[in-house]
């Protein structure tokens, strides 16, 4: 193990020798965090609304006013025909249209009920579902207010009274939920790409032959290659956590030592995976394509953007071997819920086994001659 410090020293010199590498490693992830955290919004706002009011009564105007007052809708036009409204949706000028029938107010006063038609552009299923839910909520509020005002001032008593409490993210801020996961993705990208192209770079420039004929053992060579990027990735995580706290006010409920401890174990998996790719490829282009292939699968199936529970059973089985999914879950559990070591013991056990397997394969697969 005496040769490991010299390999680490060599790697750091190569990294800091290139002026372009330092901004790519330390500045670009911060910029990506700032951009993605503001852009990856689960809320749906600025839904383009078209109104077809065939009643023109006080009740219909009140209902339209509630839609106009909502922060989720933008009134883009009105017309007197459902065909015109449907054409607006087909042309992309509207996302949703509301049709208020004739005698809307009279039916409410006489029968206590009426019908409304809501048509939604459902090409984007998530946006359509949320838009429809927002519209239904506004209609329910209007209905309750109308009954209160025109039903003799007596509202129907509720059979159940429900009080809700939002734990761990009381304000339901999407950034509080997204930023910890985005940090995992950025650390993973930097670690896997740098490690994946490391040994391949030695092959391309020819220095791998000099290493092969030296008395360095295979495991010493792999450790020396892995350790610098392990340190850099932890520094990346620390910078990201500081940005998350100062810019997005992410709560640190749990232990940061636990976060960095699990991150150190997780990075052994990611960097070992990158080095394993590096041992089976001959060019940096090959290494980059293979790393990107696995990263896309890992990221999209990590639970960052869609809940794992919503995936089909076969996809949920695949996520059991997805290291990114474990770290995303741990970040949210520890930072937002304050989970301790016992709560994430299964995650630690899986990552420990994964790290041994991947790095063991990287050492065995590295062909050293001489």
Q: Pull the structure tokens for residue 8.
A: 């680490």
Give the integer Cα–Cα distance in Å for 233 and 15: 13
From first CA to last CA, the distance across the chain in angstroms is 19
pLDDT number for residue 341: 95
Instruction: Using the structure block, give the residue that is written with the tokens 């809700």.
Output: 164
Give the integer Cα–Cα distance in Å for 352 and 195: 19
Instruction: Using the structure block, give the residue that is written with the tokens 């749906």.
Output: 44
pLDDT number for residue 214: 67
pLDDT number for residue 173: 81
Model-level pTM? 0.79
Residues in the chain predicted with pLDDT less than 70, given as ranges, are 1, 42, 151-164, 206-215, 367-370
Give the integer Cα–Cα distance in Å for 235 and 117: 55
DSSP states of 195-207 = HHTHHHHHHHHTH
pLDDT number for residue 169: 81
Phi and psi based region of residue 168 (left: phi greater than 0; alpha: psi -120 to 50; beta: remaining): left
Strand 96-100 to strand 117-120: parallel, antiparallel, or no bridges (unpaired)? antiparallel
pLDDT number for residue 124: 81
pLDDT number for residue 153: 46
pLDDT tens digits, residue range 253-286?
A: 999 999 999 999 999 999 989 888 888 888 888 8
Q: What is the dihedral of CA 59, 61, 67, 73, to 10 degrees?
A: 150
- Positive or negative: CA dihedral 273, 274, 277, 279: negative
Burial of 368 (0-12, 13-18, 19+ CB in 10 A): middle
Give the integer Cα–Cα distance in Å for 179 and 174: 8
């Amino acid at each position: 193990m005496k040769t490991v410090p010299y390999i680490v020293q060599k790697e750091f010199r190569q990294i800091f020798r290139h002026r372009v590498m330092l901004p790519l490693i330390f500045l670009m992830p911060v910029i990506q965090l700032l951009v993605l955290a503001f852009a990856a919004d689960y809320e749906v706002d600025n839904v383009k609304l078209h109104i077809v009011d065939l009643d023109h009564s006080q009740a219909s105007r009140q209902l339209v006013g509630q839609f106009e007052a909502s922060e989720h809708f933008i009134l883009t036009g009105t017309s007197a025909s459902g065909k015109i409204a449907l054409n607006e949706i087909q042309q992309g000028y509207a996302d949703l249209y509301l049709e208020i029938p004739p005698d809307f107010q009279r039916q409410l006063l006489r029968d206590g009920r009426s019908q409304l038609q809501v048509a939604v552009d459902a090409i984007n299923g998530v946006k359509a579902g949320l838009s429809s839910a927002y519209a239904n909520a506004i209609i329910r509020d209007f209905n309750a207010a109308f009954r209160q005002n025109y039903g003799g001032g007596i509202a129907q008593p509720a059979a159940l009274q429900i009080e809700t409490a939002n734990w761990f993210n009381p304000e339901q801020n999407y950034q509080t939920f997204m930023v910890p996961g985005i940090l995992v993705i950025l650390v993973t990208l930097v670690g896997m790409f740098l490690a994946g192209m490391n040994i391949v770079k030695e092959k391309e420039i020819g220095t791998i032959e000099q290493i092969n004929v030296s008395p360095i053992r295979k495991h010493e060579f792999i450790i020396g290659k892995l350790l610098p990027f392990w340190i850099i990735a932890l520094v990346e995580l620390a910078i990201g956590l500081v940005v998350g706290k100062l810019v997005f006010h992410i709560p640190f409920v749990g232990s940061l030592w636990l976060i960095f401890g699990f991150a150190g174990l997780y990075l052994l998996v990611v960097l070992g995976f990158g080095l394993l790719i590096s041992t089976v490829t001959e060019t940096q282009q090959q290494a980059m394509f293979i790393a990107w292939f696995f990263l896309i699968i890992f990221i999209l199936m990590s639970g960052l953007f869609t809940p794992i529970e919503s995936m089909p059973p076969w996809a949920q089985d695949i996520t059991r071997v997805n290291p990114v999914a474990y770290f995303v879950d741990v970040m949210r559990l520890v930072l937002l819920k304050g989970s301790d070591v016992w709560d994430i013991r299964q995650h630690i056990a899986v990552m420990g086994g994964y790290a041994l397997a991947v790095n063991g394969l990287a050492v065995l697969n590295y062909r050293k001659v001489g």
